[in-house]
């Protein structure tokens, strides 16, 4: 089988490495000419995954036409660019090509899950979601991980899982494509919150509280959209939440930590090459929570800090001063 990766960032590069290890003919598409050159010439993505050796069998391209022969395509573009990239890809693939969403977020302009975006553009293609607790550098190095591979067609999901699985890259199958996306999107917002807690030096007790109460927010949000609570407690929910909220390897947690330490959101975003998806996702999640009456105070706090430029200490004090209720 031939597998193509759409997106030459750290996560796309890591997934391409996993695909090569699974024995698939693999190529990766990148927008940046320097990324393509670096992968092909030096077997390294010096821009987004510097210092990590890549398999020599991995090839990079800037030509979307390469996707014409792909059996599986992993879509690893930033969530807010998925629609435009999918539209550009459309003319190059067949209706039978399996599309796997590996981005995490909700489309801000429409409030739609990414699977719904793809369904508009590729109504005939099988669509799946790959999500879970993973840091790109560890996956690229071949260290063990487990993920959720979700989709509505059990046979196709099983075929994709069998194709990409290795002893150190373990995709567990699920039918809950909604829950897998909601967990991956909201955990990024919560990771910013735990980063702020860390930056303010509020302690590990506070971080554990934010993770736990954040999980309750994730579950409430998922329930409104019909996600399975089992998914929220699984790899693409609780698992991803724990990892992303526990290390500054997470772009979202590191962003929150820097804000808690006193840096401004605007200056941090202007100096970043990689995307902290939670900084975008918080806008639409907060709006949906208001529209549908979902209680999400931690998400609201992150929104106030990032989008309304409210004082971090004031917002966190307000959060800690909320009435004590039943758990």
Write out the E strands in the chain: 2-6, 25-29, 59-61, 72-75, 98-101, 127-131, 145-150, 169-174
Do the first three CATH levels of 2-175 and 178-320 match, i.e. the same topology? Answer: no
The domain defined by 178-320 folds into: 1.10.1040
Q: Give the model's pLDDT for residue 270.
A: 80
> Over 164-218, what HEC string results?
HCECCEEEEEECCHHHHHHHHHHHHHHHHHHHHHHHCCCCHHHHHHHHHHHHHHH
Question: Does residue 114 have a pLDDT over 80?
Answer: yes
Write the pLDDT tens digit of every residue in 121-143.
999 999 999 999 999 999 999 99
> What average pLDDT is seen over the chain?
96
Are 14 and 143 in contact, with CB atoms under 8 Å apart?
Answer: no
Write the pLDDT tens digit of every residue in 63-107.
999 999 999 999 999 999 999 999 999 999 999 999 999 999 999
Are 241 and 214 in contact, with CB atoms under 8 Å apart?
Answer: yes
Question: Does residue 304 have a pLDDT over 90?
Answer: yes
| 0.85 surpassed by pTM | yes
Write the pLDDT tens digit of every residue in 186-224.
999 999 999 999 999 999 999 999 999 999 999 999 999
Q: Give the model's pLDDT for residue 216.
A: 97
- Clarify whether 273 is annotated catalytic: no
Q: Give the model's pLDDT for residue 271.
A: 67
Q: Give the model's pLDDT for residue 324.
A: 81
- Exposed/middle/buried for residue 279 (C-beta within 10 Å: 0-12, 13-18, 19+): buried
Give the helix/strand (H/E) hosting 21. Answer: helix 10-21
Which of 4-8, 95-99, 140-144, 316-320 is least confident? 316-320
Write the pLDDT tens digit of every residue in 43-57.
999 999 999 999 999
* Domain extent listing, the chain: 2-175, 178-320
Question: Does residue 38 have a pLDDT over 70?
Answer: yes
Of 104, 187, 257, 304, the active-site residue reads 187
Q: Give the model's pLDDT for residue 241.
A: 98
Q: Give the model's pLDDT for residue 321.
A: 86
Q: What is the mean pLDDT of residues 279-296?
A: 97
The domain defined by 2-175 folds into: Rossmann fold (3.40.50)
Write the pLDDT tens digit of every residue in 149-191.
999 999 999 999 999 999 999 999 999 999 999 999 999 999 9
Cα separation, 8 vs 34, whole angstroms: 11
> Which are the contacts of 73, defined by CB distance < 8 A and separation ≥ 6?
3, 4, 5, 6, 67, 89, 93, 97, 98, 99, 100
Question: Does residue 327 have a pLDDT over 90?
Answer: no
Write the pLDDT tens digit of every residue in 233-279.
999 999 999 999 999 999 999 999 999 999 999 889 886 677 789 99
Cα separation, 321 vs 152, whole angstroms: 43
């Amino acid at each position: 089988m031939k597998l193509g990766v759409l997106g030459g960032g750290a996560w796309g590069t890591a997934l391409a490495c996993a695909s090569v290890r699974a024995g698939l003919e693999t190529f990766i598409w990148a927008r940046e000419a320097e990324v393509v050159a670096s992968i092909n010439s030096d077997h390294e993505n010096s821009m987004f995954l510097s210092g990590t050796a890549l398999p020599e069998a991995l090839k990079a391209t800037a030509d979307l036409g390469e996707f014409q022969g792909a059996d599986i395509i992993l879509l690893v573009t930033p969530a807010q660019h998925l629609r435009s990239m999918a539209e550009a890809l459309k003319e190059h693939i067949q209706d039978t090509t399996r599309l796997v969403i590996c981005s995490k977020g909700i489309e801000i302009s429409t409030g739609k899950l990414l699977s719904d975006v793809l369904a508009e553009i590729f109504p005939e293609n099988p669509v799946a979601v790959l999500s879970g607790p993973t840091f790109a550098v560890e996956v690229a190095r071949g260290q063990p991980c487990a993920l959720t591979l979700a989709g509505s067609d059990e046979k196709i999901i099983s075929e994709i899982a069998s194709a990409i699985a290795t002893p150190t890259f373990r995709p567990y199958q699920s039918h809950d494509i909604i829950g897998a996306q909601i967990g991956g999107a909201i955990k990024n917002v919560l990771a910013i919150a735990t980063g702020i807690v860390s930056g303010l030096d509020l302690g590990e007790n506070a971080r554990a509280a934010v993770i736990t109460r954040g999980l309750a927010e994730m579950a409430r949000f998922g329930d409104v959209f019909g996600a399975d609570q089992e998914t929220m407690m699984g790899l693409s929910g609780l698992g991803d939440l724990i990892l992303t909220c526990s290390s500054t390897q997470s772009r979202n947690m590191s962003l929150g930590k820097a804000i808690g330490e006193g840096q401004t959101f605007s200056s941090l975003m202007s100096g970043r090459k990689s995307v902290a998806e939670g900084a975008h996702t918080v806008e639409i999640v907060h709006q949906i929570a208001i529209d549908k009456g979902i209680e999400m105070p931690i998400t609201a706090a992150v929104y106030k800090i990032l989008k309304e430029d409210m004082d971090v200490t004031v917002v966190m004090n307000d959060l800690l001063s909320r009435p004590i209720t039943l758990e």
